[in-house]
Structure formats: C-alpha cells, structure tokens
Structure 1
C-alpha cells in the first residue's frame, strides 16, 4: 500500500517501549518505599529510564512532524500543553489530597517557600533551578516533563533541515552539556536541598539533558535513511533485537556506573550516570521501531500498546501512590501484585477520564490555522487526526 501524502506511520512498538521506560523508574522508586525481597537485586542504573524517555521523545516527535505539515509554533506548543498539563495537574491534586502534609514537598525560607516551589511546578519551570528542593518538589517525577517542555520550545528550530544537520545538532548538544559540566565542576559534591551541588545543577538541567533528545532526533534520521526500508528476514531482525537487548541488560545489570555511594562524583560522572545508556536505547529504538522482529511484533500486541498509552499516567502517579501507601501505613504490607494492580487501575482511569478527554477538549477548542511544512515530508502507513499526534511522552 502506498501511503498518501502527509500520513504518519504508526510505530506501535515504540508505544509499548514507553511502558518499559516507565516501569524502570517505578521499580527504582519502589526501593525507597517497599521491602519486597526481589527489589534487592534491582540496579540503581534503572534511573536511566528517564534517558530512555528523552531519546524516545526526540525520535517520535521527529517521525511525526517530518511526516505531515508543521502546524506552526503556537499550534505545536498548545498541543504539547494539552498533552502534559491535564495529568500533571491531576497528579498535583492527588498529592495534596491523599498524602500527609510532611511528605508533600520541601518547605523553606525565602525562595524555597513551598508556594514558590508550587509556582515553578505549575509552570513546569522547576528544572531551571539548580537546587534539589526545586527539582524534586511536589510530584518529583514532574521534573522530567519540565525539562521536556524546554525541549519542545527548541524542537521547531532543531527540526529545520534535520536530515542534513542532525550530526551538528547532536554534537552541539553534547558540547553544551560538557560546557555546563565545566561550569559546575568546582561546586561541592554534597549539600542540603537548598544548596547548589554538582548533581543538583546537572541532573535536571535541560541544557544538559537536551543531548538525549537530540540523540533521539538523530536516531530517527538514521532509521529513516538506512533502517526503515531494510529488507531483512524475520530471523535477522530478531537476531538484531536480541543482540541489543543482551547488551542493554548487561550494561544495566553489571552496574558499571562511576557514581556510587561514598564516592564524590565529578560533573562528567554525574552526566554519565544519568544518560550513559542513551546510546543503547537509541539503537534499541531504531531496531524495534518497525516491528519486524519477534520482539517488535510482541511489542505491537494490543495489551502492551494499551499499557504504553497509559504509561505517562503510570509515570506521573506512581510515586504519589507510593506516598499514599505510606500515609495509610500500608507500605510494609502491600504486595507487589497489589501495588501494580492499583497503579495500573489508577493510571488507566487517569488516561481514560482525564488525559484523553481533556486533551480532546483543548485541541477541539484550539482550531489549527493554515499550516506550512518546514521540511520535506515522508510517507507513512496510518492516518492520524491532529488531536492524536501529541502522544510522544512516556
């Protein structure tokens, strides 16, 4: 079938991979709240799940907006707003309603007052502040969508001539991260939540984390140019998938991260600790995107695809649910199955009753103006309406 001009291929395996990335963070944070025996073997390198998010986001946004006319900067940013804010606000309401007050957020003097922290959360600007008190205030998971919001601001410019300039943009984003690291490398390794440390200055910084987003965009270019049309057999695709899965599993499980307990981190060590697996995730995304191997086909199954759709709510609500169990004095008694069942139920309800309805309402009220494409278009296999083309987040 020859796709019509402006259609967008539906890369179902990537939807399911969003669930995998979200669960990496869920397992990581579970170690803070629960005493399940199997958690003892969960590596700290699962923190790389956020890096997985960022690479996926750059890839998917590039895929969508090179396959259809660009809607204009205002329309694009409003679509991002419609994607992020409904669940973000719902999560904040859940937090302040069901979690005990001393577990809601940090509260200090001056600029560290909980009201200033709340303002930064509501505006998704907390990633700009080089303090842990801001980064992990209120729903701490929202720091990543704060960083993502700044990627969105830059995306239309990064997208221009991306097929010819991808390598410069990826190299430039890496250079920016190194320069920021050099600026902060003399700051202390440890400190209070209202003090600047190497980690607090670099962990959520959009200028540092932007490399992962640009890597995702660059990976899309290489996938579109060399991999998408590759005529390999099912066995060859499956072998490629298996190889990169083994590499990622080994890379994460042997805990080769240079930042460990008791060892003061340097700036570059902090960066490597947070996005040192981004290259492996990029390869996995490129290999699995078309769903031509057994792993990719499995990821295309409807149950996994649904979990992928609700993964943003899973990510945004998981730590709030953990704090709720602590508030209710149930953290030591709840089982893994019970917690995951509750999380998926609440996330599904959020997706079906908050995320999608509010998103459709907002997009319906914000009618598109005349659009102009800023780059050549590529075909796809499935037609989407504009309101559907906002699901790049995990």
Structure 2
C-alpha cells in the first residue's frame, strides 16, 4: 500500500516484506472452501497486514521526508501533491471499473457500492470518514485504507516537526483515547449495527482514520528509535513469526473493539522492528530481486486482489480440485498481474505525475525512497 525503501536507503528487505503483509490480506478474501477450520480461522485474521502497512508508512515517510520538511525544503502543497501522485493512478484505475459494472452492467453486487456521493467521496480519498460500510467499502473495497493513508500523509507534515518527546506523549495520549473508547463501545454498544452491514465498532476501530493513525505514529517512533541505534537480536525473528501466528490464532477470543488494531499493535511493532536490523538469511530472502519486485508491486496487488479473486472464483475455481491447488494458482495469477500493472502503468504514471509536480514546484530534492 505504501512505498518501500529503495536501495539507497539500504532497507530493501522492508520492500520485500511488504509482499508478506499483502499475502496476509490476500488470505482474508480468499474463499477457503476445502481447507481445515483451523486454517480458515487464522487466515480470517489476515487483516493484520493492514497494521503492518500503516506502521511501515509512518517509518518510511519519516525516513524519506523528515529532513526536507524540517529544513523547509518542500511546501505542504508540493508534498501533498506528491502523495496524491503516489496513490491516484492505481486508485482511479481500480475504482472506475466498479462504476462501469454498476451503471452499464447493472450488477447488484456493485450497485450497492455505487452512488454519485459514494463515488465522489471514494475518488477524493474521503470515504473512510463516513461510518457506513456502503460508503467506506465503496467501489474497490480495499481502497478504504487509502483514505486513511491520505489523512496520515497530511498529518505527517506537522507531526514530523514535533520534538521526539512530544510525539511520544501525543502517541501515548491517542493510545489512551482509543483504549477508553474501546472499553466504552464494548460496554455500551457492543456489536450494534447503526448503519450498513457491519457493527459501529468495525468502522470506529478498523476504518476510522483518527484512530488508525495510532499505528502510523508508532511507525514514526520506531524510526526514531531505530535511528538512535538500539537493535534487537536476529534470533527474535523466527519468534516474531510464531508470536504473530499465535496472535492470529487467539484473536477470535478478543472483543472486536480491541482486536481490530490495539490487540495486534505490540506484536506487529515487534515483528516490524526486529526485521529492521536483520543480518540473517531472512534479510537475504526479502531483499532478493524477486521479493523486492513483488514488494514494489504489492500496492497494485493489494488493490486488484479482491476483484481478481471474484473473477477467478467465477471462471477458474470450478476447474480446480480444491484450495490446495486453487490458492497457489490464484495467488500466482494475481502476483503476475500486479507486476505487469506495476511495470507498465503504476510506475510510469507515478513518475510522470511527480515529474510534472516537481517541474511546477521548481525542483525538489531527491528522496531516499521510491516516493
């Protein structure tokens, strides 16, 4: 979803790790027809990959933009336009076909997600502010997180100017607010559906940008901690995978307001941080050319995986003997499609837009990451 760090940032394994997070999200939307119940239960928690993306986003933006923003080398307008150029090409490309299917084909499954106001909010990155699932899941449903990201990007321009101590206090205060809200909602609201197909708690703790920015801010703090030098031993890396798997296994026992983000925050933060200073074979694997390519294409993968699965369920699954075959086949097809989309559309479109913005802005300093 968000940018990875390029070779000049010497953290290419984080780019490769993005595909692992995207794979978790893929597992959520895969239709597990013939798999054991235990696998289905764990896969259903794959939305934890979104937490990884939000933390990564805070880390990478700090790594790439903190110096030029603090030095006054880029204006708020130029910075925001660059971020819009990063998200818009793929967002529009993957969202507009849903409008076509709803209007021209009149398919009911898409008509519920379409409307003039819903479309305008979606294409303006504002859909996550509406606590109704038909709005925040409008058009291409995974694009709700882009609405959150755009809010994070704007806030980052001001957050990054704060002294480290103030950022820590602000993050802790927001964490306290989210915990108190979770307690109140769990006590007095529970699983009540106020509007749409999902409980109010689903929007407030899974979608609402004002709460999900907590993970983004944790990513900023992890960058500051990493920049100061404290590193964790590499033997913790296998343990971090076991902890993540255990958290996903035990998640159904946790009340929804806490499960959507708070429950996973410590585990994902550890998982992310322990990979930063990795010098083991894990780093070699994730920084391999194939994984870096898949990581760079993970934004496209994230945005196309759900409609791709829908099409493959219709036309390909009937010819497949079961999940054990259909999962790797559908994953491979989606990965190839995302790489082609990255090569021939996303990267050229993004570069063209950013080049135009930089020329209009009179030139900006080069950035560490592929921004």
Point out the more displaced range, 44-53 or 7-16: 7-16
Q: For residues 105-163 of structure 1, what are the alpha-carbon distances to aligned partners after superposition, in whole Å with 9 as ceiling and x for unaligned?
A: 526xxxxx622111111111010001111121211100111111111110011101343
Work out whether residues 35 and 332 of structure 1, in 8 Å CA contact, stay in contact via their aligned partners in 2. no
Point out the more displaced range, 289-298 or 305-314: 289-298
Change (3 A) 1:98 1:106: closer
Change (3 A) 1:30 1:194: closer
Q: Which residue of 2 aligns with 1:251?
A: 247
Aligned residues: 349
Q: Distance in 2 between matches of 1:180 and 1:348?
A: 41
Q: Which residue of 1 aligns with 2:302?
A: 315
SS of equivalent to 1:203: helix
Q: Which residue of 2 aligns with 1:347?
A: 338
Q: Which residue of 1 aligns with 2:191?
A: 189
Q: 2:348 aligns with which of 330, 354, 357?
A: 357
SS of equivalent to 1:45: coil
Q: Distance in 1 between matches of 2:198 and 2:266?
A: 32
Q: Structure 1-normalised TM-score?
A: 0.79
Residue 19 (structure 1) aligned with residue 19 (structure 2): yes
Change (3 A) 1:282 1:241: same
Using the TM superposition, give the Cα deviation of residue 333 of structure 1 relative to its aligned residue in structure 2, in angstroms: 3.5
Work out whether residues 90 and 300 of structure 2, in 8 Å CA contact, stay in contact via their aligned partners in 1. yes
Using the TM superposition, give the Cα deviation of residue 64 of structure 1 relative to its aligned residue in structure 2, in angstroms: 1.4
Q: Which is richer in helix?
A: 2
Residue 177 (structure 1) aligned with residue 178 (structure 2): yes
RMSD of the alignment, in Å?
Answer: 2.9
Q: Which residue of 1 aligns with 2:357?
A: 366
Kindly report which structure 2 residues correspond to 1:149-160, keeping only aligned pairs within 5 A, or say none: 149-160=150-161
Change (3 A) 1:188 1:255: closer
Residue 219 (structure 1) aligned with residue 215 (structure 2): no
Unmatched segments (≥5 aa) in structure 2: 1-6, 321-325
Point out the more displaced range, 202-211 or 182-191: 182-191
Work out whether residues 51 and 278 of structure 1, in 8 Å CA contact, stay in contact via their aligned partners in 2. yes
Q: Distance in 2 between matches of 1:98 and 1:338?
A: 26
Work out whether residues 130 and 136 of structure 2, in 8 Å CA contact, stay in contact via their aligned partners in 1. yes
Residue 204 (structure 1) aligned with residue 207 (structure 2): yes
Q: Distance in 1 between matches of 2:25 and 2:353?
A: 29
Using the TM superposition, give the Cα deviation of residue 188 of structure 1 relative to its aligned residue in structure 2, in angstroms: 6.0
Q: Which residue of 1 aligns with 2:127?
A: 126
Using the TM superposition, give the Cα deviation of residue 45 of structure 1 relative to its aligned residue in structure 2, in angstroms: 2.1
Q: 1:333 aligns with which of 309, 319, 325?
A: 319
Q: Distance in 2 between matches of 1:80 and 1:105?
A: 30
Work out whether residues 322 and 331 of structure 1, in 8 Å CA contact, stay in contact via their aligned partners in 2. no
Relative contact order (C-alpha < 8 Å, sep 6+): which is higher?
A: 1
Q: Distance in 2 between matches of 1:39 and 1:89?
A: 37
Kindly report which structure 2 residues correspond to 1:1-394, keeping only aligned pairs within 5 A, or say none: 9-31=9-31, 34-37=32-35, 41-42=39-40, 43=42, 44-68=44-68, 70-96=73-99, 101-106=107-112, 114-178=115-179, 180-181=181-182, 186-187=188-189, 189-191=191-193, 193=196, 197-227=200-230, 237-255=233-251, 257-259=253-255, 269-326=256-313, 328-334=314-320, 335-367=326-358, 369=361, 385-386=366-367, 389-390=370-371
Q: Structure 2-normalised TM-score?
A: 0.84
Using the TM superposition, give the Cα deviation of residue 306 of structure 1 relative to its aligned residue in structure 2, in angstroms: 0.7
SS of equivalent to 1:270: helix
Point out the more displaced range, 45-54 or 90-99: 90-99
Work out whether residues 129 and 208 of structure 2, in 8 Å CA contact, stay in contact via their aligned partners in 1. yes
SS of equivalent to 1:223: helix
